[in-house]
A and B are shown apart, each in its own frame.
Chain A
Amino acid sequence: MKEIIRLENIVKSFYIGMPNELEILHGINMSVSEGEFVSIVGPSGSGKSTLMNLIGVLDRPTSGNYYLDGIDVEEARDDELSDIRNRKIGFVFQTYNLIAKTNAIKNVELPMLYAGMSKSDRRDRAAELMELVEMSDRAKHLPEELSGGQKQRVAIARAMANDPAIILADEPTGALDSKTGRLVMDLFHKLNEEQGKTIVLITHSEELANETDRILSLKDGDIVNEEIRRVRE
C-alpha cells in the first residue's frame, strides 16, 4: 500500500516567552496508507489539534520530516502550502466553518475557485458532490437555513471538491446529536469504501474510533498506543 502520510520525528514546540518553550509534540512517528480510515484519539491537551494542524499543513513542525503524498512539506513555501491544502487535503471541522451569506453550492465551489477551475466545471463538480452527500435539494440554501447535520454534509462535499488525497476531519460529529452524527459517520464510511478516500479522523469518542481501521492514541504529545482493528487487502 502506498503511504499517503509519513511523519518522522515530528516535534512541535511553542515559544511562550523567555525562558520557556512549551513542547507539545515530542517526536511523532506515524504513517497512513492510501485508502485507510485512521482515527487519532486522546484527551484534551494531548496534542491532537496541534497534530491535525501539522497534518493539514496549516502549521510547520519545529523539527522532523513530513511527507504528504510524496511531497516534502518542510521545503514548501507559503503559497505552495496553500496549494497543498487546496488540492491534497479536505478539511472537515467540528464547527462546519461554512462561509456565511454564501449558499451551500457556492461553498462547495470555493476550493475549486482557488484551484482556478472554470465556472462550468465548478458548477458541474459541485452539483455532483451535492448529489453524493444527498443535499441537492438544498443547494441554494444559505448555511443559516441548514441544520447542523446538513451543514456538515455540505462541509464534507466541500472537502471533496478537488478530489484530495486525504480528508482530515476534526471532531466532525462533536456538535451533532447522536442520530445526525451517525449519518455523518456513515457518509465517511461511504467515501472511504466507495471512493477509496484516505480519512484521518480526530475524535475523543472511543465509540467512533472503534469503527475505523486503526486507532492511534495520543497522550501528552506522544503516540502511546496503536490498535489495528481491521486489516485491508
Chain B
Amino acid sequence: MLIAENILLALNSIMSNKMRAFLTMLGIIIGIGSVISILTVGNSLTLTVENNMQSMGSKDIFVTVNERTDKDGTESIIDGVKYPESEVSRKDMTDSDYITGDMIRDLSDKFKDQIYAINVTKQVGKGEASYASKDTDISVTAVSAGHFLTNAVKIKEGSMFSANDFGNTRNVCLVDDKMVEKLFDGKPENALGKEVEFDIEDAKPTTFTIVGVYEAEENPGMSSMTSMISMLMPGARIYIPLKSGMQLTNSKDQYSNFRVSTNLGADTEQLAKEITNYFKPLYSGNANYEVTAVTFEGMLDSLTSLMDTLTLAVSIIAGIALLVGGIGVMNIMLVSVTERTREIGTRKALGARNSSIRIQFLIEAMVICLIGGIIGLILGLLGGSFLSGLLGYPASPSVGGVVFSLLFSMAIGLGFGYFPANKAAKMNPIDALRYE
C-alpha cells in the first residue's frame, strides 16, 4: 500500500527535478551500460566460440610440434596452452624436427579404437586459377581423407574425392561456388571434369581436373577456423588431395601439426596425454622441439578464462562508475532531504512514523537508481549488439546480467540512499516544521 504510494511520490519528485535527476543518474547509467555491453559482447563471443568449437569438434585433439618449453620459453603460451604457430614461423625447423607421415600412420594404428579420423592439412599457397582466358584468385589446401570426416562440406555438383584420389597423386580438385561464379558463369555443371590451370606461388603451373563443386560458407560466424583462413587467404578455396599437394610443392611426407578426431565416448583428455607420451620417446633426442597434444576443450577453457579476465577488468571500471554514481545519488538525496525539511516536519505532525519517512526517501533513491539502471541497460544492450555486430558475431544479451544489473542498481539506491533517508527519519518534527 505505502510502497505504491511512495513510488508515485518518488516519480513525482523526480519529474519535478528532471535535469537534476538525470545528472544524478548518469553515473549509474554509465556503470550499468558498460557492464551490460561487455556482458553482451562477452556472452556472444563465448557462445560463438563454443559453437565453433562444437562444429569443429570439441572432441578434437590438436597435435603440434612446439619449441621445448624448458629451452627459453619463447613460444606463444596463453594461460598454459600452447597455440599452434604457422609453419612460416618455423623456418629453423629441420627435417628431423617434423612429424612424419609414418608416425601419424603408426599412431593411428595404435589408438585405432579411439580415433575416428586424422585430419592432416597443408596450406599449399595462394595463386591464380585460369580456364579459357578467364582467371581468379585462389588459395589451395591439401587435405588428408580424414579432413572431410570432421569438416563436412556440402557438395553441390559432382562428387567428393574417392579413396583412389587420396591414394594416388592424381591432380584432381574440389572447387567452391565462388570460383564457379568467376570461371564458369555460376553453372556448377559446366565446371565438372574441366581441366583448370593452377599457378601457385613456389610451384610450377599444373592442371587439375575438377571432380566436385562445394558450397562456400558465407556465414563467418559458422566456423571460426574457416573464417580465419578465408581472411588470411582471400579468393576461392580449392581442396586437393594431400599427396597431390606434396607433389605440387615438392615437399616431403612431414608435418608440423595435425588433428585427431576421437570416437564418441572416448576420453579425449586422456588420449591427448597418451598422444603426447607417444611422441616423447620419438623426440627425446631432439634438443629444440617436442610434440604436444592439446584438446580443443583445453583451448576453449583458456579462451573463456581470457574473456573472464576481460569481463572482470571492465566490471571493476564499471564498479567504480557505479560507486561514484552511488555517491552522486547520496549527495542529491541529502539535498532533497534538506529542501524538504518542512515537508518532513509536516508529515511527522500528520502522523508519519520515522519508518514511513525512511521508506519514502529510500524508495525515492531506489527509483532514481532503477530508472538510471533501466536507461543504462537499454544503452548497454544497444551498445553491446552494436559492438558484437561490429565483430561479426550475433549479439545475445544475458538474461542473468539484465536481472542482476537491475537488482544491483536498486541495491545502490538502497545502500547510498540509507544515510539521507535515515537523516530525514531522525529529524525532530518541531525543528523541521520551523525550518525556513
Contact = CB atoms under 8 A, between A and B. Distances in A.
Interface in A21-66: 53, 56, 58-59
Residue among B13, B346, B352, B430 with the most chain A CB within 10 A? B346
Closest 8 pairs (CB-CB, A-B):
A86-B351, A97-B346, A82-B353, A114-B351, A111-B350, A85-B351, A58-B429, A91-B349
A101 B13 contact: yes
Contacts of A86: 350-352
Contacts of A91: 349-350
B349 A58 contact: yes
B349 A56 contact: yes
A110 B433 contact: no
Contacts of B1: 113, 116, 118-119
Contacts of A56: 349
Given A58-B430, A114-B356, A101 B16 contact: yes
Residue among A111, A118, A158 with the most chain B CB within 10 A? A111
B353 A79 contact: yes
A112 B308 CA distance: 53
A98 B350 CA distance: 11
Interface string B1-24: 110010001001100100000000
Contacts of A82: 348, 351-354
A78 B5 CA distance: 23
Contacts of B354: 78-79, 82
Nearest to A82: B353
Interface string B326-360: 00000000000000001101111111111110000
* B interface majority secondary structure: helix
Nearest to A102: B12
Interface in A126-146: none
Contacts of A78: 353-354
A118 B5 CA distance: 12
Nearest to B352: A114
B347 A110 contact: yes
A83 interface: yes
Given A99-B343, A99-B346, A114 B353 contact: yes
A87 B349 CA distance: 11
Contacts of A93: 346, 433
Interface string B267-310: 00000000000000000000000000000000000000000000
Interface string B411-436: 00000000000000000011001000
25 contacts: A56-B349, A58-B349, A82-B348, A82-B352, A82-B354, A83-B353, A85-B348, A85-B349, A86-B352, A97-B342, A97-B345, A97-B349, A99-B343, A99-B346, A100-B343, A101-B13, A101-B16, A102-B9, A111-B350, A113-B1, A113-B5, A114-B347, A114-B353, A118-B1, A119-B1
B407 to A, nearest CB: 28
Nearest to A78: B354
A79 B433 CA distance: 18
A115 interface: yes
A97 B352 CA distance: 15
B15 to A, nearest CB: 9
Contacts of B355: 79
Given A87-B351, A97-B346, A99-B347, 11 more contacts: A53-B430, A58-B429, A58-B433, A59-B430, A78-B353, A79-B354, A82-B354, A85-B351, A101-B12, A110-B347, A114-B353
A129 to B, nearest CB: 14
Nearest to B12: A101
A114 B354 CA distance: 11
Contacts of B353: 78-79, 82-83, 114
Contacts of B343: 99-100
A119 B2 CA distance: 10
A59 B433 CA distance: 12
Residue among A83, A87, A102 with the most chain B CB within 10 A? A102
A111 B351 contact: yes
A79 B351 CA distance: 9
A80 B12 CA distance: 30
Contacts of B347: 99, 110, 114
Nearest to B342: A97
A113 B433 contact: no
A158 B342 CA distance: 17
Contacts of A115: 351
A113 B12 contact: no
A65 to B, nearest CB: 20
Nearest to A50: B430
Residue among A56, A78, A91, A113 with the most chain B CB within 10 A? A113
Residue among A53, A58, A59 with the most chain B CB within 10 A? A58
A91 B342 CA distance: 14
Nearest to B349: A91
A158 B351 CA distance: 12
Contacts of B9: 102
A113 B346 contact: no
A151 to B, nearest CB: 13
Residue among A98, A111, A114 with the most chain B CB within 10 A? A114
Contacts of B352: 82, 86, 114
Nearest to A100: B343
A86 B9 CA distance: 20
A116 B355 CA distance: 14
A58 B396 CA distance: 58
A79 B347 CA distance: 13
B337 to A, nearest CB: 15
A115 B355 CA distance: 13
Contacts of A158: 350
A93 B343 CA distance: 13
